[in-house]
Amino acid sequence: MNLNKIKIDEDVTKKIWLLKSRTGLTPNILCRIGFCLSLNEPGMPDASLYGDEGMEFNRYTLTGQWDSFFITLLKERCIQDSLNIENCLPEQFLAHLNRGIALVYNRVKNIGDLSKLIPDES
């Protein structure tokens, strides 16, 4: 997958900075949380809803030492969505990242709300 520089939507960038002020978490951690949250949401994200005029990240900054783990999760989700993983990974990575931040933004008002993102499997 050739996706070394990642540019997210301008509106999503604003949401990241607001989330950072609400929670104190860095943008890369917020992006990781959002990405995983989006992967768990039903339905495919619509990549056409998001532009690339916002913040730019180096992929390793976002995924860190867990890069292969995040890519494996994405591949599994693409297979579940009946997508061809040879062609869809960059677009789906960006779509899940953008949708995920929007999901976190809507659900997290302070650092204490992060615990509500974890499903209760009891």
Tens digits of per-residue pLDDT, 4-22? 899 999 999 999 999 999 9
Within 10 Å of residue 4's Cβ, how many Cβ atoms? 9
pLDDT over 90 (residue 119): no
Highest mean pLDDT among 31-35, 58-62, 83-87: 31-35
Between CA 21 and CA 110 the distance in angstroms is 9
pLDDT tens for each residue of 65-86: 999 999 999 999 999 999 998 8
Instruction: Write down the pLDDT at residue 3.
Output: 82
Q: Sorting pLDDT into bands at 50, 70 and 90, what band is 118?
A: confident
> What topology does CATH give the domain 5-115?
Arc Repressor Mutant (1.10.1220)
Does the pTM surpass 0.85? The reply is yes
Q: Please report, for the chain, the start and end positions of each structural domain, with discontinuous segments joined by +.
A: 5-115
CA-based R_g, the chain, Å: 14
Token pair listed for 90: 């960059």
Tokens describing residue 73: 């999760």
Element (H, E) at 6: strand 5-7
